[in-house]
Structures are given as C-alpha cells and as structure tokens.
Chain A
Amino acid sequence: MEPVISVRNLTKTYHVGEHQVNALRSISMDVHKGEFVSVIGPSGSGKSTLMHILGCLDQPTSGQYFLDGRDVSRLSDDDISLVRNEQIGFVFQGFNLLTRTSALENVELPLLYGKSNISAAERKKRAMAALDSVGLGARYDHHTNQLSGGQQQRVAIARALLNNPSILLADEPTGNLDSKTSIEVMDIFQALQRDRGITIVLITHEMDVAAYGSRIVSFKDGNILSDVSNESRRHAGGELQEFPAVVN
C-alpha cells in the first residue's frame, strides 16, 4: 500500500546571521495510513522543522515530500493552501483558536476556505457534528476564553478533523495541559486512530507522551536516530479509568 506520507532526502537549512543551521539533514521516512507516529527529540533536533514541512507551512531546502503520492514540496501558495485545507489537520500546543469567537465558529473555519462552497447551514451542521465527536456539542456557543485548556484543545481537534484530512499533525498537543487532560486528549487521538483509521503524526519531547503512539521516531541534530514500532504502548482509555471521577 502506498504510504500517506513519503519524504525523500529532505533537508532544511536556515541562515541565522552568518551561521548556517542544518535543521534537517537528508531525512527519508514513510508513514502509512492508520499509523500513529510519535516523533520525539530534544529541542533543536529538527522535529518541529519536520512538522512544519509535513504540514506544508514551510518548504524544504531540498528533497521531496509526497503527500498521498503527490509531490507537494514545490507547490504554489494557492495550491499549498488548498492542501492544508483539505489534507492536513493541525493541533498546536497553544491551541491556536480565534479569540472572542465561539467554539462552533472556530470549528467551521476550514469550511470558509478552500474550493467547496458550503452553505452556512451546512457549515454549522458539520461543525456541530465535529464538536459532538469530541464531546463538546453542548458548549458550541462558548467563546474560547470560557473553555478550559483541555476543552480548547478538543475544539482544535474538532477543527482539524472537519475536512477529513489525510493526516492529523499534532505539535506538542499536551504541552499546555495538566496530566489528566493530557491523557484525555491522547485518548481522543487513540480513539481517532482506532475507530476512524486516521493517520496521526505527534511531535513531542516527552517520552511518556510519545509512548501513546504506535511507532516512535526519535530525532537528534537533524537526523533520525531511531525508528521503531512501539512495543510498550500506553492506552489512555485504561489510564483514565484509574483517575478518580471528577466532574468535568
């Protein structure tokens, strides 16, 4: 089966003043459909750069990036925007929701862009469904500042999933959350992979967060250090039950 993500000899070089920083040094890897890949490494290891290139927010200095078999590393801005809109869902550490905007309007944001012209009623319907799937249907009209961090991250996940993307890219999604809500978010990711077969790439610097993935790729100094299947995978669903019941 053709991989969802296939990168070949990917390099990224930054110029900071007179210094040349090699963020990525000829990376090659494949991610197949339905995988939950944790990318781990210390800061400066190049994992964030990889994430930005995978998310089409940045372009590689050299090398190729095939997304669903199509080379997206040299597309025009309009085309790359469309790729982001239709094929990629982002979940960020800082949630990146629009402030002073309701959860519903945040979730339906991707539908306002892209090729499809969707009616307001249809937008709302699909956004509501997405919010329901992350358990926030009742809070659709809450503004982002009225939601807890975990809830905000779930709104972000609902937004990322709205256009049924090929991959879900999560950049330190639990970095701003406490341990219980972190587990809740990881539970959603695992459920998405398990129930809907969504391909997930998770970037983190914490090993115990990476442990929720089915495969762990570790980075160091712009190189892949190791790429192994995760034998001792954590299961968020089970861990949640061990937490004392707290009213959400």
Chain B
Amino acid sequence: MQLPNSLVIATKALRRNKMQTALTMIGMMIGVATVLTMIALGTGAQNAIQDQVKAAGMNMLVVTAGNYQVKKEKPPDDAIEMSQRRNPEKGMRPHLQFVMFHPEDDPFAVHDHPVAKQRLGDSEAGLGAAATLSLDDAAMIRAVPGVQYAVEGIHENVHVGYGDTRWFTRVHGDGSSLPEVRRSWKFVHGGFYSERQERNKEQVIVLGSVVAEKLFGADNPVGRTVTLWKQPFKVEGVVTSSSWMVVPEAGDDQFDAVYIPVTTMQSLLNLSKLNDITVTTKSTGDVSRVAKTITPMLRQRHNIGANQADDFTVTTQASKSLMKGSLRPDVAQAVIGNVSGLEKVTLDQLGKTLDRSSRTMTALLGGIATVSLIVGGIGIMNIMMLSVTERTREIGIRRSVGAREHEVLMQFIYESVILSVVGGLLGIVIGVIASSAISHSVQWSTSISPMAIALSFGVSAAVGIFFGYYPAREASRVAPLKSLRFE
C-alpha cells in the first residue's frame, strides 16, 4: 500500500527538526501520561471503594450465639396462666390463647429476692456465655443452597509469645476458608492454614501483621514457633490489609490478632461450642433468603419450641451497620424490626450512592483531563504556529516546485497529528508504567482499562487535528512569491 504523499512529506519534515519534534512530543507525552495516570488512579480508587463495600460484607451475614434482643426467660413452672386477647396473628384461636405470665413480670409486685434480670445480668442474653452454636450447625449452614462459605469462629484474648517477647492480642479460632470471606486480606508471608491442618487439629497459626511486627520486627516469621497457652504453634503466614483504606494498627480486630484452626482451639480449650458463624452468600441479593432459611433450621436443630425465642442471632451486614451507625439504638431496632428486606433497601441505597459518587469522580477526572489536554493541544498549536512563521521559506520552496495549497495544509496537519499521536502513544506507555509504579510503591490501587487507553489515544489524535488545523491553514495560505522572498 502506498502511503499518502503528504504523510511522507510530513514525516520527512519532522525528521528535519528533530529537537523541536522531540520536545513537542515530550510535551504531548507528559500530558497524555498524566491524564492516563490520573484516570488509572481515579478508577483504581473507585474500584477500591467498591471492593471495600463488598469486603465490608454486602453478601455477609453473621450467626451469633445467644440473643440479646430477648429479655424474657422461659416461664418457671409456677407461672400463672392468663387469658389474653392480644396478639391475634400469633395463633389460630385468639380467644383461647394462653400466655405464660411470670410473677416477676408484674410491675406492681414487690419481690423479696433479686429478680431473674438482676440475677443473670447480660449473661442471659448469651453474649459469650450462652454458647449455643456448634461445628455441626456450621456444616448444616454450609449445605444451604446459595451459601458460599460458612466459617466458624471462637474469639478469645491471649498472650502470644516468641522468645522473651509477649503480646496481648485477640485469638480467633476460625475455619480454613476465612480468607475467602475476608476479601481485603493479603498475605505478606506464607498463607492460611489448610483444611487438612484444620481437620487434624494441628497447632498452626497465622499472625496479623501487627502481631508479626511486634514479635518479629521485619523478619519473616513463617516456619518459626510461637506460644499460646504455653503451647507451641508453627507460624504459617502473616496477613495484612490489601486495601489502602484499611491500615492495620494495634488494637484492631483483624490484624492485631492471630488465627488458629477452630478445631485446635476447641480441643486445647476443651470447648464444644462456637461464638459465631460467618456466612457469605454467592450473590448479594440472596442474603435475606439465606437468613430466612437458616433461622428455622437452627431453631429446629436447637429444639426451640414455637413460642420460645431464638438462642442465636442472625445479623446481616446491613442491619449491623444500622446498629453501628449514628441512629439511636432504639430507632435502629425499630427499623430493623419493621422493615422487611432491610438489607435489600440498604443495598439499593448503597448502590445508588456508589453510582453517584463514581459519576462525580468521573466528571472530576474528565474535567482535569480536558484541561490537561487543552494545555497540551495549545502547546502543539503554539509550536505549529511558530514553525509556520519559521518555515515560510520552506513553504515557498514547496510551492515553487508545485505543492498545492491543499498539500501544504495536509502536510502541516499530518505533522501535528504525528506529533500528538506519537507523543500520545509514548504517553500511554509512560502512563501505564507510572501507574503500575505508583500502585507498587505507594500501594494505591490503580486500574487501566483498554477503554481509557483507547480514549487517550483518540483524544490525542483529535487534539492534533483540532489544534493543528489553524496553523496548517495559515501555512497553506502563504502566497508562494511572498514566502520565497521571506528571509
């Protein structure tokens, strides 16, 4: 295929002014590289936020042993039966409904002994003490359709020792699939313990990065032995946060912590129950359905009668965040109790918020990118304008040997397009390198999509044409005779 003559001419002309060509290309290159890096950082941040939201557990629900919402106790044997008309939806025959009424619940009664609430304090709610969940419960939950992972959890405080150094921290006895649930995890050294090690109740341990740093400094602890409860544990790995939004620090529950197989913890501490089971669903929309399946299943397994309260709590992340949020606890509870499919609503809102914020981000980036490219384009225009003046004689020479106006125009347009496109391509290369360098050195997540590359390329070509056109037209309009006389 034959290249257009104007393209050949433009290439030759650019080769004549190597320095100027190189400098202009560098200008364009820096512009495009900046734009691309910025887009990479922006989309990276956007993705990171989305990851965080996911990692925060949009598809997660936690089954906790005990039920602190229920303040009622099983009525004692001497409870007085009272006829009640309230609560019509609860039974088939409201007129014959019987409710067990505890004498202690009578607000007017004066008791000569501490009532159940005073005797038991919070322990009746089962936080920690009333451990009701078992490994078998976890296995059953795992078999529920739609469940991705179900990870057992026992949580204690412990002294971890290595040599003379001791560090007081949290120990989590967990199933081996925990890293699949914690999505913003990253292993600095080694990895998590295996399913086989969990089955064999091996004394293996994974350190949070804070613990590893307290005990080992910068050394790689994998293969060393630390002690918990005077028992040796072999270090399998060190885990830290993969997200720049979560920085491991002393006192946090994830990285100032150690992880051992739940089976090992149970046998060493002579426990048979679990504190909680963390469940993830395959899709985020499935959370409510899975929660609704789990509740009756566990009730049945725990032999809870129809009019008895659960001895466990199923918390979805959405309701959890409501509880943790700025809402007053009673308001939050009312909301949780009365809005069915709450997590769906919240997910919806979250999704919308995300959409809005990413649109804002995109608009911001687009604005910055536009300004940079306009600056780059004006740079090209400036150079081309200068070179039209500077190269008047060259134009005259070309016209005298028969170049048409159109051919001079095309030469100058091609020149600026070559400048901007080659500069743009180099900029893309530099931008890709720069963003991967940034994500490696500062641990910021960056993301370069083929779309961003195509866009940068297209825009740099467009800049070349747009800002090259005016100087090129000026060049083509120089009268041949005038340009030959120009000294």
Q: Known interface pairs A52-B481, A92-B484, A109-B398. Does A78 touch B16 (Cβ–Cβ under 8 Å)?
A: no
Interchain CB contact under 8 A, A114 and B400: no
A159 at the interface (CB under 8 A from B): yes
Q: Which residue of B lies closest to A53 (CB)?
A: B481
B12 touches A57 (CB 8 A): no
Q: Residue of A at shortest CB range from B403?
A: A113
Contact assessment for B400 and A100 in the assembled complex, using a CB-CB cutoff below 8 Å: no
The smallest C-beta distance from A201 to any residue of chain B, in angstroms, reads 15
A81-B397 in contact (CB<8A)? no
CB closest chain-B residue, reference A82: B402
Report Cα–Cα, A77/B480, bound state, in Å.
10
Q: Are B481 and A81 in contact (CB under 8 A)?
A: no
Q: Which residues of B contact A119 (CB under 8 A)?
A: 2
Residues of chain B lying within 8 A (CB to CB) of residue A117:
2, 5
Residues of chain B with a CB closer than 8 A to A82's CB = 402, 404
Which 4 A-B residue pairs are closest in the complex by CB-CB distance? A85-B402, A81-B404, A110-B401, A57-B481
**CB proximity to B under 8 Å, residues A88-127:** 90, 92, 96-101, 105, 109-110, 112-114, 117, 119-120
Cβ B394 vs Cβ A98 within 8 A: yes
With both chains docked as a complex, state the minimum distance between the C-beta of B484 and any C-beta of chain A, in angstroms. 7
A 152-182 to B, binary, CB cutoff 8 A, 1 in contact else 0:
0000000100010000000000000000000
Q: Are A57 and B5 in contact (CB under 8 A)?
A: no
Which residues of A lie under 8 Å from residue B16 when comparing CB positions? Answer: 98-101
| Bound Cα distance A81, B407 (Å) | 10
> Is A86 on the interface with B (CB-CB < 8 A)?
yes
A78 with B404: CB separation less than 8 A: yes
> Which of A52, A84, A97, A159 counts the most B-chain CB atoms under 10 A from its CB?
A84
User: Which residue of A55, A77, A99, A112 is within 8 Å of B405 (Cβ)?
Assistant: A77
Query: Is A58 part of the contact surface with B, judged by Cβ < 8 Å?
Result: yes
Alpha-carbon separation in the docked complex, A177 to B101 (Å): 126
Quote the shortest CB–CB distance from A114 to chain B (angstroms).
5
- CB closest chain-A residue, reference B476: A77
Beyond A96-B484, A113-B407, whether A81 also contacts B12 by CB under 8 A is no
Q: Are B5 and A81 in contact (CB under 8 A)?
A: no
Category for how many chain B residues contact A: 20 to 34
Q: Is B399 an interface residue (CB 8 A)?
A: yes
Q: Tell me which of A52, A81, A100 contacts B399 (CB under 8 A).
A: A81
Query: How far apart are the CA atoms of A58 and B480 in the complex, in Å?
Result: 8
Quick check: is B393 within 8 A (CB to CB) of the other chain? Answer: yes
Sample of 19 A–B contacts (CB below 8 Å):
A57-B480, A78-B406, A81-B402, A81-B403, A81-B404, A82-B404, A84-B399, A84-B401, A85-B402, A85-B403, A92-B484, A100-B16, A101-B12, A109-B398, A110-B402, A112-B9, A113-B401, A117-B2, A119-B2
Interface residue? B338 (CB, 8 A): no
Question: B401 to chain A: which residues have CB within 8 Å?
Answer: 84-85, 90, 109-110, 113, 159
Question: Looking at the complex, which one of B12, B17, B405 makes contact with A78 (CB distance below 8 Å)?
Answer: B405
Complex Cα spacing A136 to B152, Å: 90
Complex-state Cα separation, A114 to B393, whole angstroms: 20
Chain A proximity of B462: nearest CB distance (Å): 27
- Given contacts A85-B402, A86-B402, could you give 19 more A-B pairs where the C-beta distance is less than 8 Å? A58-B481, A78-B405, A81-B402, A81-B404, A81-B405, A82-B404, A84-B400, A84-B402, A84-B480, A85-B403, A96-B396, A96-B397, A98-B397, A101-B16, A109-B397, A109-B398, A113-B398, A113-B402, A113-B403
> CA A78 – CA B480 in complex, angstroms?
12
Give the Cβ gap from B341 to chain A, nearest Cβ, in Å. 72
Nearest chain B CB to A241 CB, angstrom units:
34
Say how far A123's CB is from chain B's closest CB, in angstroms. 9
| Residues of A with C-beta under 8 A to B400 | 55, 57, 84, 90, 96
Return the chain B residue nearest A56 by Cβ. Answer: B480
Select which of A58, A84, A112 is within 8 A of B5 by beta carbon: A112
